[in-house]
């Protein structure tokens, strides 16, 4: 029955990866560089949540084992991450005219600065949200699934955010403009789209989703200065696997990579002597294999 358990674990972990991947892919689609500060943007979101939660605390009732205050704090965390990212974009990335490799290296520097500031403010030790740790949901245990209501909250919230983004992209004016700009910024501009404004919106949404991912990662594991950086490589794998620049590809890639990571114990169970310490390596091998067949990633557009 352990396979169901691994799937459940994978679903929770994937939810976090998906949120982070979408943001990374969105930013890539309009800013045209791989933002290595994305992981640390997640960290910023998590600390934003942590601090706010310290103030609002157990506000009101609880849903899924989490006080309403947690969701308020999470929203603040999202806003903080988004604002920090946009400010960085205005102060650092936008004035720089150095091409995508230069921006990539710059973003690594930005990541260090974020992390150093977090460490200055909060120290290097991992922290926990002051929420009670949950036991597995009794009804699911007989099936071998050991999920807590917090896990359900993570998966549910991620699904909600992803659906919201889908609706935004497909059915709103802003979404259409974002897609137009991702496809062809010059054409978008001559069509009368205010690309500067759309760029800001895309940064806000991308970094906000990263903040949400960070907030949930803190709930799933703990809140520490390296949390975002430590997960960034898998997030990149997910984005590349899905096809960089594609939001829907990032969703799929995130789901796959998170699942693969958490399904690694199956190898041991069927007698293949590959331990879980190789789970990232396996995820990357699969990523490379997929790229060999489909160089643009699963949902990437050919010839872009």
Partner 1 sequence: MTADDNRLNRRDVLKGTGAAGLAGIGLTAGCVSTADETPTPTESSGGGGGGGGDDDDTATPTEGGDMGAYEIGMVNSLTGSLSAFGARNERGMELALESVNGVGIGGRELSIIVEDSESQAQAGVSAAQKLVNQDQVPFVIGAVGSGVSLAIYESVIQSTDVVQLSQNSTSPDLTNFPGLLRMSPTGRTQSTALADIISEDGYDSVAVAWVNNDYGQGLRDAFVDAWEGDVAYDSPHDQGQSSYSSTVSEMANSEADAWLFITYQPEFTAMAQEAFSNGYEAQYYGADSVQGSDVLADTPEGSLEGMKIVTPSAAVEEQNYQDFASRFEEAYDQTPSSWAAFAYDCVITAALSIATADEFTGAALQETVRDVTRPEGEQVTTFAEAMEVLGEDGSPSDIDYQGVSGPIDFDENGDPVGFLQIFSVEDHEYVSTGFTSA
Interface residues with partner 1 (CB under 8 A)?
A: 2, 5-6, 9, 12-13, 16, 125-126, 128, 132-136, 141, 146, 148, 150-151, 217, 220-222, 224, 226-227, 230-231, 234, 261-262, 264-265, 268-269, 275-277, 279
Closest approach, Cβ 32 to partner 1, in A, equals 27
Which structure tokens are listed for 296? 């643009």
**Token pair for 190:** 């001559």
Specify the residue, 84 or 259, whose C-beta has the smaller distance to partner 1: 259
Q: Would you call 62 exposed, middle or buried from its count of C-beta atoms within 10 A (0-12, 13-18, 19+)?
A: middle
Residue 290 beta carbon to partner 1: minimum distance, rounded to whole angstroms:
22
**Rounded to the nearest whole angstrom, what is the least distance from the CB of residue 99 to partner 1 in the complex?**
31
Three-class SS state of 260: helix
C-alpha to C-alpha distance for 238 and 216, rounded to whole angstroms: 18
The residue among 196 and 268 lying less far from partner 1, judged by its C-beta, is 268
Q: Of the two residues 124 and 159, which places its CB atom closer to partner 1 in the complex? A: 124
Phi, psi of 133 (to 5 degrees): -70, 140
Nearer to partner 1, 155 or 231 (CB): 231
Which residues share a beta bridge with 62?
67
Show the tokens assigned to 63. 């849903």
Q: How far is the CB of 134 from partner 1 (least distance, A)?
A: 6
Show Cβ contacts of residue 210 under 8 Å, excluding neighbours closer than 6 positions: 19, 20, 23, 24, 38, 41, 42, 45, 81, 85, 228
Q: How far is the CB of 209 from partner 1 (least distance, A)?
A: 17
How near is the Cβ of 140 to partner 1 at its closest, in Å?
10
CB closer to partner 1, 222 vs 296: 222
Considering only CA atoms, which of 198, 159, 226, 187 is closest in space to residue 12?
159
Contact 111, 235 (CB under 8 A): no
Please, are residues 217 and 49 in contact by the beta-carbon 8 Å criterion?
A: no
Closer to partner 1 by CB, 40 or 151: give it.
151
């Amino acid at each position: 029955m352990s396979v169901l358990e691994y799937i459940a674990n994978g679903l929770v972990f994937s939810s976090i990866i998906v949120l982070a991947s979408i943001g990374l892919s969105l930013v890539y689609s309009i800013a045209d560089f791989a933002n290595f500060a994305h992981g640390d943007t997640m960290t910023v979101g998590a600390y934003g949540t942590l601090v706010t939660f310290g103030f609002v605390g157990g506000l009101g009732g609880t849903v899924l084992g989490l006080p309403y205050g947690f969701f308020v704090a999470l929203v603040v965390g999202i806003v903080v991450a988004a604002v920090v990212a946009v400010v960085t974009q205005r102060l650092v990335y936008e004035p720089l005219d150095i091409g995508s490799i230069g921006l990539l290296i710059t973003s690594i520097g930005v990541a260090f600065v974020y992390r150093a500031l977090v460490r200055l403010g909060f120290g290097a030790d991992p922290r926990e949200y002051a929420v009670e740790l949950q036991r597995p949901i009794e009804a699911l245990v007989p099936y071998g699934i050991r999920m807590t209501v917090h896990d359900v909250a993570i998966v549910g919230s991620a699904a909600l955010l992803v659906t919201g983004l889908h609706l935004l992209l497909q059915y709103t004016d802003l979404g259409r403009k974002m897609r137009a700009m991702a496809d062809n910024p010059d054409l978008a501009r001559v069509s009368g789209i205010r690309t500067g404004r759309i760029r800001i919106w895309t940064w806000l949404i991308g970094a906000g989703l990263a903040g949400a991912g960070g907030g949930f990662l803190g709930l799933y594991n703990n809140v520490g200065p390296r949390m975002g950086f430590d997960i960034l490589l898998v997030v990149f794998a997910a984005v590349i696997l899905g096809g960089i620049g594609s939001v829907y590809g990032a969703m799929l890639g995130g789901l796959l990579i998170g699942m693969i990571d958490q399904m690694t114990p199956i190898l041991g169970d069927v007698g293949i002597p590959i331990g879980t310490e190789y789970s990232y390596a396996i995820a990357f091998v699969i990523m490379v294999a997929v790229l060999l067949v489909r160089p643009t990633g699963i949902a990437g557009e050919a010839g872009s």
